[in-house]
Amino acid sequence: MFLKRVAPLCAVLALLVAPFLNHGIAQASQDEGDGSFSVLMATDLVVPNAGYFFVVDFDTQNATTVARTGGAAVPPNVPRNGFFIHLNGSNDDWVVEARSYVRGVETLRPLSEFSIWNYEGAVAHNGSFLGFADRASDAVLIWSANDLETTDRPVDATVTFTGIDFTDGAVGDVQVGSASAQVSPGVRITQGEKPYSALLATDLVVPNAGTFFVVDFDRQTTSVTPRSGSAPVPDVIPQNGFVIHLNGNNDDWLVEARSYADSVETIRPTDEFSIWNYDGSVAPNGSFLGFADRATDAVLIWAGNGLATAQGPVNATATFAGIDFTDGAVGDIQVGSVSTTLLKVGSRFP
């Protein structure tokens, strides 16, 4: 059964007041049966020089956005099981750090778990932080971690920061368009394997005809292909991978996902999608999920857990941030950014 995953009132209020309060709490949506969940933690957030903590609690499935005070290295209430991301700006650069917790025991996360997209400046280690020394405009920062320990079982986690703007040599504020998180069940994997992440597009206009977003597991490549005619899939589909089809028209906009394992196609359940910062109508429309109303700065997340491949299953996410759609207009969908992560359940990706 499809569940409309729109942040409840407490989350909406948290997003509206996050720049002004120290604590904003968002309740996550929850997938049925497997314990996975996704959450939108903030939109249009200004991270000041002092910094912000983005905290995810595995036990409560809550996310908290906490303004840093003084020189605190951690937020006031760290999760017993979970993680936080510390994002911090200064006059000359901005830095990020991740820490995870299991039964209250802290682990500083490897900086290799971060990837930065749409940014051409300097990147360097700065102790436990990863530092970015130059101007950023509409950058996308992704943190992906495989097999974070919990009291029950390991999980895979992704946090995506989109629309990052930073002016070098200015007041030190970091502008963040959106911050979202996805947690999926994992299994233990071979030591040394790393997630794969990619930025597919920024500032994209999806026309009435639609666009395909393709991720190939084998080649670790992505492509963005305009739909021609009434084609249900792109001309070239991956042997192992997935395709997201985003389509607008005058009155609503639609999305569909298909996965491939050894060239065998599976149309994905519509309840693998969650939509945030959107108050309109949502309903299945055949294999598509339809959104009937206006969207402004919405965030759409697709999470496919345990996707079958020839070499073993993977957990995959695709995040569409900054979605704008005007109902009754030409049918174009404005998308700020599209990014993806592959979090290994097996041992496919070296």
User: Which among 340, 321, 341 has a CA at the least distance from the CA of 146?
Assistant: 341
**Position 138, amino acid:** D
**Position 248, amino acid:** G
Handedness of CA 331, 41, 318, 254 (dihedral sign): negative
Asked whether the beta carbons of 217 and 314 are under 8 A apart, the reply is: yes
Task: Please tell me the predicted confidence (pLDDT) of residue 193.
Answer: 53
**Position 295, amino acid:** A
Residues in CB range of 5: below 8 A, 6 or more apart: 29, 38, 273, 274, 275, 276
How far is residue 109's CA from residue 123's CA, in Å, rounded to a whole number?
17
How far is residue 3's CA from residue 156's CA, in Å, rounded to a whole number?
22
pTM of the entire predicted model = 0.74
- 3-state class of 149 per DSSP? coil
Task: Please tell me the predicted confidence (pLDDT) of residue 186.
Answer: 62
How far is residue 335's CA from residue 286's CA, in Å, rounded to a whole number?
23
Residues in CB range of 309: below 8 A, 6 or more apart: 217, 240, 261, 262, 346, 348
How far is residue 253's CA from residue 184's CA, in Å, rounded to a whole number?
27
Number of neighbours of residue 57 by Cβ within 10 angstroms: 20
Asked whether the beta carbons of 259 and 268 are under 8 A apart, the reply is: yes
User: Which among 259, 59, 243, 52 has a CA at the least distance from the CA of 161?
Assistant: 52
How far is residue 159's CA from residue 161's CA, in Å, rounded to a whole number?
7
Task: Please tell me the predicted confidence (pLDDT) of residue 343.
Answer: 74
How far is residue 227's CA from residue 7's CA, in Å, rounded to a whole number?
31
Task: Please tell me the predicted confidence (pLDDT) of residue 23.
Answer: 36
Q: Supply the DSSP string of 28-96, one letter for each residue.
A: PEE-TTT--EEEEEEEEEEE-TT-EEEEEETTTTEEEEEE--TT-SS-SS--SSEEEEEEEE-SS-EEE
Task: Please tell me the predicted confidence (pLDDT) of residue 6.
Answer: 31
Per-residue pLDDT of the chain (350 residues; tens, 9 = 90+): 222 333 322 332 232 223 322 335 555 554 444 567 888 999 999 998 889 999 999 888 889 999 999 889 999 999 999 999 999 987 678 999 999 999 999 999 999 999 999 999 999 998 999 999 888 999 999 998 887 877 777 788 999 999 999 987 667 789 999 999 988 876 444 334 566 788 899 899 998 889 999 999 888 889 999 998 889 999 999 998 999 999 987 678 999 999 999 899 999 999 999 999 999 999 999 999 999 888 999 999 999 988 876 667 788 899 999 999 987 667 789 999 999 988 765 433 33
148: which strand partners? 155
Task: Please tell me the predicted confidence (pLDDT) of residue 177.
Answer: 92
